[in-house]
Amino acid sequence: MFIAALRIDDRAGEKLARRSIGEEEVTQLPANRFVITRNPHPRLPGGRLLVGETDAGRLLTVVIEPVPQDDASWRVRTGWEASRRERHLFERSF
């Protein structure tokens, strides 16, 4: 899956900040190793979980949803440190 841009609105930025995740870290994920899986609880059709590495090697999980009329851009809803299960999924992919 190609991700040209991750869009982070103010609300998502606040959610990330509460978990000590910087917006710049999230925007690094598509340029590094990542895996995308289905979101078990999507709010919108097409929602996914992106599990990826920051430039510093931090492993994050981010909830993303497609941006209508833009196949390569995704809207960030929230994110967190990858869980053990998400880390396992990521490691199995490489």
Q: What count of Cα atoms within 13 Å lies in the side-chain half-sphere of residue 34?
A: 25
Residue 1 scores a pLDDT above 80:
no
Structural domains of the chain sorted by starting position, each given as residue range(s) with its CATH number in brackets: 5-92 (3.10.450.530)
As a whole number of angstroms, the distance between CA 17 and CA 31 comes to 21
- Which amino acid is it at 86? E
pLDDT digits (tens, 9 = 90+) for 62-92: 999 999 888 889 999 999 999 999 999 999 9
Residue 2 scores a pLDDT above 90:
no
- Supply the pTM of this predicted model: 0.93
Residue 20 scores a pLDDT above 80:
yes
pLDDT digits (tens, 9 = 90+) for 24-39: 999 999 999 999 999 9
Candidates 41, 32, 33, 44; CA nearest to 74 is 44
- Which amino acid is it at 77? R
What is the DSSP secondary structure assignment for residue 1, as one 8-state letter? -
As a whole number of angstroms, the distance between CA 57 and CA 38 comes to 23
As a whole number of angstroms, the distance between CA 73 and CA 69 comes to 9
